[in-house]
A and B are shown apart, each in its own frame.
Chain A
Amino acid sequence: MEYLHTLPNNLIVYIIVAHLLFGIGLYGMMFRSTLIGILISLELLIQGVGINVMAFGTFLHVDPLSARIMTLFLLGIGAAEAALFLGIAVAVFRNYKTISINKLTRLKG
C-alpha cells in the first residue's frame, strides 16, 4: 500500500502509460482493416502524446502553464483531424460502397 501512495507522484508511471497508449495505437493503425478502426487507433496515439507532454510539463518544467496550453492545442488539432477523417471516410463509403482498406486498391499499380 505504501508503494501505491507514491504512484500518482511518479513521472515514470505517466511516461510508461503514455508510451503504452502510443504503442497500442500504432499496432491498431498497422493492423486494423477499416478506416474507422484506423481513426480510433489514431485517437489513442494522440492521447498518448498528450499525456507525455502534460507529464513532462508538470514534472520537469518550471512553468506548468505552457504545458497546459500545448496540450490544449493538441486537443484542438486532434478534433480537427477526426472531423476531416470522418468526412473522408463517409465520402469514400459513398463512392466505393466499402471502407475496407483491402478493397480500396484503385491507385495500386
Chain B
Amino acid sequence: MSFERFALDIYALSFAVLLVQMVIGAIMAVRSQNLVHCFLGLVMTLIGVAGLYYFLGSPLLAVMQVMIYVGAVCVAIAFGLSLTHKSGEEGLQNPGLRAIVPPFITLAMLGSVLLGLADREWVGYPQKIDESPIGQMLLGEYLLPFEVISILLTVAVIGAISVALIRRRN
C-alpha cells in the first residue's frame, strides 16, 4: 500500500467519523434528560460542522465556526444554563402522536430537494480556493448586508443586556 493511498484512506475515514460524531451529538443534544449533556452534544455537533466546512473547501468558515459558535455562543449558553438552572425541570415532553411531524416535514423537504437536483449537473466540487477576495467583496458589492448585520448584532446585544437587567434597575 502506497503512502498516498494510506493518506486518502485516512482522509475518507475522518470524514465518516465527522458525520457519525455530528449525528450522535445532535441526538444527544435533543434526547438527553440532563441539560448539561445536551450542551455537550451541541458542542460535539458544532465541531463536526466546522470539520464539514473544512471538507467543503473553506478553512475560513471552519475557523469562523469554531470561533463564533464553540467559542462565543456555547460559552454564553453555558452561562445561561448555570444562571437559570432549576432541578426537576429538564427533560422532554411526551411526544405522543405528534412525533411523526418532524420526520414528515424533513422527508418532504429532502424529497423535494432531491427531485429538484435530479436533472441538474454538478458544476463544481470541493476544492481549496483563494478566499482573500471575501474581505473586498464584503466591503464592495455586499456592503449593505454587511452593515445591516453589524447593526443587527449591536441591537441584539444591547437588547439582550437591557432585557436581562429590567428587574435589577427598579
Return chain B residues, CB-CB under 8 Å to A25: 26, 30
Given contacts A28-B30, A77-B149, contact A5 B8 (CB under 8 A): yes
Q: Are A91 and B30 in contact (CB under 8 A)?
A: no
Q: Are A40 and B106 in contact (CB under 8 A)?
A: no
23 contacts between A and B (CB under 8 A): A7-B12, A8-B15, A8-B126, A19-B113, A27-B99, A30-B98, A36-B84, A39-B77, A40-B77, A43-B73, A44-B42, A44-B45, A58-B58, A59-B124, A66-B137, A82-B73, A84-B163, A86-B79, A87-B160, A90-B84, A94-B164, A98-B86, A99-B86
Q: Are A64 and B69 in contact (CB under 8 A)?
A: no
Return chain B residues, CB-CB under 8 Å to A55: 56
Q: Are B152 and A80 in contact (CB under 8 A)?
A: yes
Q: Which of B46, B72, B160, B164 is in CB contact (< 8 Å) with A47?
A: B46
Q: Are B106 and A23 in contact (CB under 8 A)?
A: yes
Give the A-B contact count at a CB cut-off of 8 A.
247
Return chain A residues, CB-CB under 8 Å to B68: 75-76, 78-79
Which residues of chain B (119-170) have a CB below 8 Å from chain A? 120, 122-126, 129, 131, 133-134, 137-138, 142, 145, 149, 152-153, 156-157, 159-161, 163-164, 166-167
Q: Are A68 and B159 in contact (CB under 8 A)?
A: no
CB within 8 Å of B: which residues of A?
1, 4-5, 7-9, 11-17, 19-28, 30-37, 39-41, 43-44, 47, 50-51, 54-55, 58-62, 64-66, 68-69, 71-73, 75-84, 86-91, 93-95, 97-100, 102
Q: Are A86 and B16 in contact (CB under 8 A)?
A: no
Q: Are B30 and A51 in contact (CB under 8 A)?
A: no
Given contacts A8-B12, A30-B98, A60-B120, contact A36 B133 (CB under 8 A): no
CB-CB nearest in chain B for A100: B89
Return chain B residues, CB-CB under 8 Å to A73: 145, 149
Return chain B residues, CB-CB under 8 Å to A16: 110
Return chain B residues, CB-CB under 8 Å to A4: 9, 12-13, 16
B40 CB to nearest chain A CB (Å): 10
Return chain A residues, CB-CB under 8 Å to B157: 80, 83
Return chain A residues, CB-CB under 8 Å to B92: 31-33
Per CB-CB distance, the 3 closest pairs between chain A and chain B, nearest first, are: A87-B160, A23-B106, A28-B30
